[in-house]
Structure 1
């Protein structure tokens, strides 16, 4: 399973269990909390009514006095109240009073006057000087018929003359508990949804960071250029730098081995030629022969120097991850400058160069030195394979999101078997005019420069003869 998915599931599981635990406890505490709040209000109500009932209870006219009428009028009211979205249309109270012996003397619901309530918990405790409260079901088989009672002593001049008890059906509190539980469930749902969203964003961020590291490692393994992914947090950034350091050390070791082998292989031929010429020069030779062998040594020495210079230039390009000097460039102007720099060679072979393209549609960003050198390599290649007095065509054009620079010659082209290899290091074809090969590093350098700029290079034979070398760069 994907590590990001595992982290997401673990995160969501922890949050979900914690949310369930908190919401479960809160839901269980809703109903007791509402009952406790209601009991607190009943305590205040009972003591208020005790003060109001004391004079008439002491005078023995509690059943038909002002207190009884006021309680009946209050219970008959219609409040039309909306309490946090819960509608209240009636006064849900029961009030009864007993004398100092616990005998019922008033009941708002018409209870049997004269009945003995002295054994009822709320009345009995108050008569003993304690806090009196009880919950009783009107129907023992129906929990919803439970009524909560709170009693308070009725005193006159510090003398206990009776007990007043105020009751409220538990059913009247149910809308508040249901609404509270519903709001808790809704809050829990949004909490889980928010946690899932945060977990998803975290997973996507982590997946993006890990995928960038994975892609970087794959590009490195394939020997391609890759930009070091340093975003994604300190630890992921440190991991990316560690991968880059490991890559640099491994690449450095392999790079040195490869280049030493290539350099040794390419230098064998000119060294053998120089050694052979030097051995011949030990003998007595005519001046003309001696001059020919000295020229041969000089030619092979220059070839060795050219191989070393181009190999060092190619090695430098291959180690770069991005152009060191990136600026806006007009490719058409760059082509003109390159042709001007090769004018002596062109004139020596009687070659004409035509440059076509629209200046406004041929702009890109890049390193002018490297791109000029790459274009010069293509032009050198075209000069080497063009017949004297021929023509070389340079075209600069736009193609979608890319800019294309094409250099075409009218020479013999390349054999079909050589087309897949022309960009390989040290691969070269014999020049038509001299029959000699070059260092085989020019086109390899061109491809590396193009890829360094986010593009590529290609080589193909033209249908009507000659060859087309192409550099493709992003706009």
Structure 2
């Protein structure tokens, strides 16, 4: 299972359980919280009424006062109030008053006057001087039919002469409880969803960053050219820098070792020829023969110099992971410049030139490397084109790339050699003398093409050989 998914699952489990626990706990606290707040309001109301009713209860004139009429009118009121989105259309308080013995003197519903309420906890505890409150179901089979009663003592000095109780059905609180639970549920679900989204984005970002670094490490270990990915975040950026530093150190050591082995192997042949010729020159010989050995030394010396220069150029390209510049390089002008530089050689061999590259076509890349690559291709074509043969440049734009073709009349390349032409130090004998080149030119061209995100392809076609070089278009 990918690391990002594992991180997300752990995060999902943690956020889900934590969110469920917190939401469940808060949901369970809403109902008692609303009832506690309501009870606190009932306490205030009962104590206010106790003060208002004190004189009438003390005088025994409660039933002859206007209070029964007022309470009846109170029960008929329709507030038409909008309370946090809940419409309130009727009053829900029940108020009753008892004397010091618990006998009901006044009831806002008018049904309990004269009844003995001394055994109900609200009246009983209040008459004892305690806090009197109770919750009683109107229907024993209906859990939502409970009514909350809160009482307050009516005092004459320190003597309790009566009790006033205020009641409110709990079902009238249910709309507010349900509304709070619904809003809290949606808010909690939104917060949990937002937390999971943040977790998913964090997991995706971390997985993507690690994936980039993994693919980069795999490409480097496979010997492919790869650019260090850009990752943000202190530790991830440090990890990327550490991987790049390790790659540089390891590649540098391996490259130096491979470079020394290769250079040593390739220097053996020309050095042996120079040493042999020098030993022969040390003795007596005809001037003509001496001149031939001197020419051999000069030729092998030039070969050594060419080998070292091309190895240095190739080393510079192979060690690079990206381009130092990306500019527009007009291909027509570049090809004309290269042909002009080789004009003495072209005229000496009587070669025919055909430059079909459009003036508007241009590649995007590093101008110096592209010039070196095309120079190597042209030099290779001149080596294999017979006297009076044709060399043709052509190019076309296709799918954002420039396809540059260099054709030269020549004998077909053997099938066994086609796939190896871009290998380092692999070379075919030249038609004009049988000698081989350094075998680094086409390898250099391929490295330059890959550095630009392009490719090199060599094929036999009718009448000769064609090199196809694909480069990014400008």
User: Match of 1:466?
Assistant: 464
Contact 2:231/2:240 (CA < 8 Å) preserved in 1? no
Indicate whether 1:180 and 2:176 are aligned: no
Aligned-partner SS, 1:421: coil
Aligned-partner SS, 1:257: helix
In the alignment, the residues of structure 1 paired with residue 188 and residue 86 of structure 2 have an alpha-carbon distance, to the nearest angstrom, of 21
Contact 1:205/1:232 (CA < 8 Å) preserved in 2? no
Indicate whether 1:229 and 2:218 are aligned: no
In the alignment, the residues of structure 1 paired with residue 171 and residue 345 of structure 2 have an alpha-carbon distance, to the nearest angstrom, of 106
Q: Offset at 1:64?
A: 4.6
User: Match of 1:336?
Assistant: 336
- With 442-451 and 274-283 compared, the bigger mean Cα shift is at 274-283
- With 263-272 and 419-428 compared, the bigger mean Cα shift is at 263-272
Equivalent positions of 1:51-450 (< 5 A) are 51-155=51-155, 160-360=160-360, 362-450=361-449
Change (3 A) 1:28 1:203: same
Contact 1:230/1:236 (CA < 8 Å) preserved in 2? no
Equivalent positions of 1:43-58 (< 5 A) are 43-58=43-58
In the alignment, the residues of structure 1 paired with residue 58 and residue 164 of structure 2 have an alpha-carbon distance, to the nearest angstrom, of 13
Indicate whether 1:456 and 2:455 are aligned: yes
Aligned-partner SS, 2:404: strand
Q: Offset at 1:232?
A: 3.2
Aligned-partner SS, 1:459: strand
Q: Offset at 1:452?
A: 0.9
Q: Offset at 1:156?
A: 5.5
Q: Offset at 1:404?
A: 1.7
In the alignment, the residues of structure 2 paired with residue 284 and residue 359 of structure 1 have an alpha-carbon distance, to the nearest angstrom, of 61
Render the CA deviation track for 1:384-421: whole Å, top value 9, x for unaligned: 11111222111122111211211110111311111100
Q: Offset at 1:110?
A: 2.6
Indicate whether 1:38 and 2:48 are aligned: no
Q: Offset at 1:436?
A: 1.0
Contact 1:392/1:410 (CA < 8 Å) preserved in 2? yes
In the alignment, the residues of structure 1 paired with residue 331 and residue 321 of structure 2 have an alpha-carbon distance, to the nearest angstrom, of 22
Q: Offset at 1:159?
A: 5.8
Contact 1:12/1:199 (CA < 8 Å) preserved in 2? yes
Aligned-partner SS, 1:409: strand
- With 317-326 and 232-241 compared, the bigger mean Cα shift is at 232-241
In the alignment, the residues of structure 2 paired with residue 54 and residue 207 of structure 1 have an alpha-carbon distance, to the nearest angstrom, of 76
Contact 1:56/1:67 (CA < 8 Å) preserved in 2? no
Q: Offset at 1:100?
A: 2.8
Q: Offset at 1:322?
A: 0.9
In the alignment, the residues of structure 1 paired with residue 342 and residue 230 of structure 2 have an alpha-carbon distance, to the nearest angstrom, of 43
In the alignment, the residues of structure 2 paired with residue 258 and residue 112 of structure 1 have an alpha-carbon distance, to the nearest angstrom, of 109
In the alignment, the residues of structure 1 paired with residue 130 and residue 339 of structure 2 have an alpha-carbon distance, to the nearest angstrom, of 112
In the alignment, the residues of structure 1 paired with residue 75 and residue 342 of structure 2 have an alpha-carbon distance, to the nearest angstrom, of 111
In the alignment, the residues of structure 2 paired with residue 112 and residue 242 of structure 1 have an alpha-carbon distance, to the nearest angstrom, of 87
Q: TM-score, normalised by structure 1?
A: 0.95
Contact 2:327/2:366 (CA < 8 Å) preserved in 1? yes
Contact 2:100/2:127 (CA < 8 Å) preserved in 1? yes
In the alignment, the residues of structure 1 paired with residue 353 and residue 202 of structure 2 have an alpha-carbon distance, to the nearest angstrom, of 58
Q: Offset at 1:353?
A: 2.4
In the alignment, the residues of structure 2 paired with residue 57 and residue 332 of structure 1 have an alpha-carbon distance, to the nearest angstrom, of 116
Can you give the 5+ residue segments of structure 1 that lack an aligned partner in the other structure?
none
Contact 2:331/2:357 (CA < 8 Å) preserved in 1? no
Q: Offset at 1:5?
A: 0.8
Contact 2:62/2:106 (CA < 8 Å) preserved in 1? yes
In the alignment, the residues of structure 2 paired with residue 107 and residue 8 of structure 1 have an alpha-carbon distance, to the nearest angstrom, of 63
In the alignment, the residues of structure 1 paired with residue 357 and residue 66 of structure 2 have an alpha-carbon distance, to the nearest angstrom, of 109
Render the CA deviation track for 1:221-245: whole Å, top value 9, x for unaligned: 2211111113132212221222222
In the alignment, the residues of structure 2 paired with residue 274 and residue 63 of structure 1 have an alpha-carbon distance, to the nearest angstrom, of 140
Q: Offset at 1:37?
A: 1.1
- With 386-395 and 128-137 compared, the bigger mean Cα shift is at 128-137
CA RMSD of aligned residues (A): 1.8
Render the CA deviation track for 1:220-270: whole Å, top value 9, x for unaligned: 122111111131322122212222222222212221222222212211211
Q: TM-score, normalised by structure 2?
A: 0.95
In the alignment, the residues of structure 1 paired with residue 262 and residue 44 of structure 2 have an alpha-carbon distance, to the nearest angstrom, of 100
Render the CA deviation track for 1:36-79: whole Å, top value 9, x for unaligned: 11112212221232233333333323235321111111111222
- With 132-141 and 12-21 compared, the bigger mean Cα shift is at 132-141
In the alignment, the residues of structure 1 paired with residue 353 and residue 12 of structure 2 have an alpha-carbon distance, to the nearest angstrom, of 68
Q: Offset at 1:113?
A: 2.6
In the alignment, the residues of structure 1 paired with residue 317 and residue 386 of structure 2 have an alpha-carbon distance, to the nearest angstrom, of 32
Number of residue-to-residue matches in the alignment: 473
Aligned-partner SS, 2:17: helix
